[in-house]
Homo-oligomer: A and B are copies of this chain.
Amino acid sequence: MCQLTGYTGAMRSDTSPWLDDRQQRVWRQWLQSNARLTAALARQLSQDSGTSLADFEVLVHLSESPEGRVRIVQLADTLQWERSRLSHHLTRMEKRGLVERQGCTEDGRGAYAVLTDEGRVLIEQVAPGHARTVRDLFFGELTDDELAALDRFTAGLLARLDQR
């Protein structure tokens, strides 16, 4: 995804922008595994319950909050979504009866997203299958050392991304 034929050999050096062969392979594996893992999880959710990964994230965050209620700003912050995206998404989920909106008495501008009973039933039905899929596909039979190494890598990657 990142290397043009012909430049490979000629331009490789410490100061060139290119990736070496091993980096190349790892990078493409990362892209591939990501795409396919996401697709597998989405398929599993969709088949089991007709929900998308986005729906699932919203439902989980609501269900983890007291009374299944979260201020919409805070939800957008946590999910790292744009407000308008969340607003559109809540509208769609509201139509399906999974969430509701409530006005906010403390701040006249604000609003809460609230999990409905139907939404809570759904998330409790769906979560175990999702967790199992993640465990089987993502973690597999990793050893403790391998898990620790992965932990260090993702933590380091996040730190690098934070620096920007």
Residues of A within 8 A of B (CB): 1-5, 7, 17-19, 22-23, 25-27, 29-30, 32-37, 40, 56-57, 60, 63-64, 80, 123-124, 127-132, 134-140, 142, 146-147, 149-158, 160-161, 164
Please state if B26 and A147 are interface contacts (CB–CB under 8 Å): yes
Question: Within the complex, which residue of B3, B7, B18, B137 is in contact with A160, where a contact is CB–CB below 8 Å?
Answer: B137
Q: Which residues of the other chain, B, contact A124 by a CB distance below 8 angstroms? A: 4
State the number of copies, please.
Answer: 2
User: Quick one: closest B residue to A7, CB to CB?
Assistant: B127
> Complex: how many Å from CA A154 to CA B146?
11
Please state if A157 and B138 are interface contacts (CB–CB under 8 Å): yes
User: Quick one: closest B residue to A17, CB to CB?
Assistant: B132
- Asked if A34 meets B32 with Cβ closer than 8 Å, knowing A56-B1, A146-B149, A153-B150, the reply is no
Please state if A131 and B37 are interface contacts (CB–CB under 8 Å): no
> Complex: how many Å from CA A25 to CA B104?
32
Please state if A134 and B2 are interface contacts (CB–CB under 8 Å): yes
**Cross-chain pairs A/B with CB under 8 angstroms, 12 sampled:** A2-B134, A4-B64, A4-B124, A5-B63, A22-B147, A25-B151, A26-B151, A33-B161, A37-B161, A140-B156, A146-B153, A150-B153
Q: Which residues of the other chain, B, contact A134 by a CB distance below 8 angstroms? A: 2, 19, 27
